[in-house]
Amino acid sequence: MSFLSLIGFFFVIKFFMYFILFFTGDSDFELWWYNMFSNKLAHAYTRDDGKIYIVYHNDTLKGKVVWITGASSGIGEHIALQLSKSGSKLILSARNKEKLLQVKNHCLEISGGKLSANDILVLPMDVTNVSKHVSWFDSVINHFGKLDILINNAGRSQRAKWEDIELSVDREAFDLNVFAAINLSRIAVRYFNQIGSGQLVATSSVAGIVPPPFSATYNATKHALHGYFGALQREKVHSNIYVTLLCPGPVFSNFLKESFTAHPGEEYL
C-alpha cells in the first residue's frame, strides 16, 4: 500500500467513525474518546429524565474561575451546574437576571458545600453590546482577582428558507453568535498573554462542520467560529493558552423557541 493510499485509508476510517458517532454518540470523536476512556477525569451517566450528564472525579477544575455567557438556560446552564459540583468559581452571564439568579441558587444547592454565594457572580449582560465588554471583564477581575476560563456560549439558532433570509438577519446573527464572542475573547486572550495561561471555549455545533438545510445563517456563524478559533488554536499551540470548540448535536433546550427566522424581530413558531 502506497503512502497516499494509507492516508486515504485513515481518512475513510475517520469519517466512518464520525458517521457512526453521529447516530450513537452525539459528540465529536475527541469528546467521545474522553467520555469512554478517561475515567480518571470523568464519567457520563443518564438520569431518569433521559438527559446525559458528565461528573468530574478529580480536582482539576476546583477553584478555577470560569465565565459562562448564555448561562441562563440550555447548555450554558448545565455547564454551570456541572462545574459547580467540581468547585469551580463561576461568572454567570445572560440578559435575564432572574433566570441567572435561579441558576446560581441551583448551583449552590448541588455544589455540596464547595461554593459560597460569593463564589458565583451573576453578571447580567447583552453580549452584543461590545462597547461594555472591557468594563464587564474588569468587573470579573475585580471580583475574583483572576479569570481562568472563558466559555462563549451565548447564541441563537435559525429556521428559514435560504432565499427568504433578509441581510439584516445575517448581520444580527453574526453580531450575536460570532462578533460578540470574538471581541470578548480577544480581551481575554490579551489578559491570558499577561498572566501566561488560560483557556477559551466556544460553543459551536455539528452545523459548523456539516451544514443542515433551513439554517443557513446559523450554519455560517458556526463555520466562522471555526475559522476564528481554529486560527487561534494554531497560533497558541506552543503556549499555555488553550482553545476548545464544542460541537454538540441536538440538545434538549428552548433553543428553537428563540431562533432567528428569515425576517428581523420575527418569532419562530
Which is the catalytic residue, given 18, 53, 218, 242? 218
44 shares its domain with 27:
no
Please tell me whether residue 246 adopts helix, strand or coil conformation: strand
105 shares its domain with 5:
no
**DSSP assigned state of 260:** B
pLDDT tens digits for range 6-47: 888 887 887 777 677 666 655 556 666 666 665 444 444 444
134 shares its domain with 230:
yes
Q: Is residue 2 part of a domain?
A: yes
User: What CA–CA distance (Å, rounded) separates 89 from 249?
Assistant: 27
The C-alpha cell 500500500 sits at 1
150 shares its domain with 121:
yes
15 shares its domain with 136:
no
Please tell me whether residue 46 adopts helix, strand or coil conformation: strand
User: What CA–CA distance (Å, rounded) separates 27 from 253?
Assistant: 17
DSSP β-bridge partners for residue 65: 89
Question: What predicted TM-score, i.e. pTM, was given to this entire model?
Answer: 0.81
Of 103-112, 144-153, 201-210, the one with minimum mean pLDDT is 201-210
The domain containing residue 30 runs over which residues? 1-37
- In the structure, how many helices (H) and strands (E) does the chain have? 8, 8
Q: Rounded mean pLDDT of 191-205?
A: 96
Question: H or E element: which one contains 92?
Answer: strand 89-93
Closest CA to 89 of 60, 112, 67, 56: 67
213 shares its domain with 242:
yes
29 shares its domain with 91:
no
Of 30-44, 82-96, 209-223, 232-246, the one with minimum mean pLDDT is 30-44
Of 96-105, 142-151, 184-193, 259-268, the one with minimum mean pLDDT is 259-268
Q: Rounded mean pLDDT of 75-98?
A: 95
Grid coordinates belonging to 103: 441558576
156 shares its domain with 28:
no
33 shares its domain with 44:
no
Residue 131: CA count within 13 A, CB half-sphere: 0
96 shares its domain with 29:
no
Of 128-132, 142-146, 148-152, 264-268, the one with minimum mean pLDDT is 264-268
218 is catalytic: yes
Mean pLDDT of the chain: 87
Phi, psi of 71 (to 5 degrees): -95, 5
Residue 228 is predicted with a pLDDT of 97
User: What CA–CA distance (Å, rounded) separates 170 from 216?
Assistant: 9
> Which CATH number belongs to the domain containing residue 88 in this structure?
3.40.50.720
User: What CA–CA distance (Å, rounded) separates 20 from 204?
Assistant: 20
How many domains would you assign to the chain?
2
User: Quick check: 129 and 159 in contact, CB under 8 A?
Assistant: no
Closest CA to 255 of 115, 134, 159, 121: 159
Q: Is residue 158 part of a domain?
A: yes
Kindly give, in sequence order, each residue whose CB lies less than 8 Å from that of residue 209, ignoring residues fewer than 6 positions away: 226, 247
Residue 37 is predicted with a pLDDT of 62
Of 12-16, 43-47, 143-147, 261-265, the one with minimum mean pLDDT is 43-47
Alpha-helix runs per DSSP H in 3-66 = 3-24, 29-37
Q: Is residue 28 part of a domain?
A: yes
Higher pLDDT, residue 42 or 94: 94
Q: Is residue 267 part of a domain?
A: no
Q: Is residue 264 part of a domain?
A: no
23 shares its domain with 133:
no
DSSP β-bridge partners for residue 200: 150, 243
Q: Rounded mean pLDDT of 59-82?
A: 93
185 shares its domain with 251:
yes
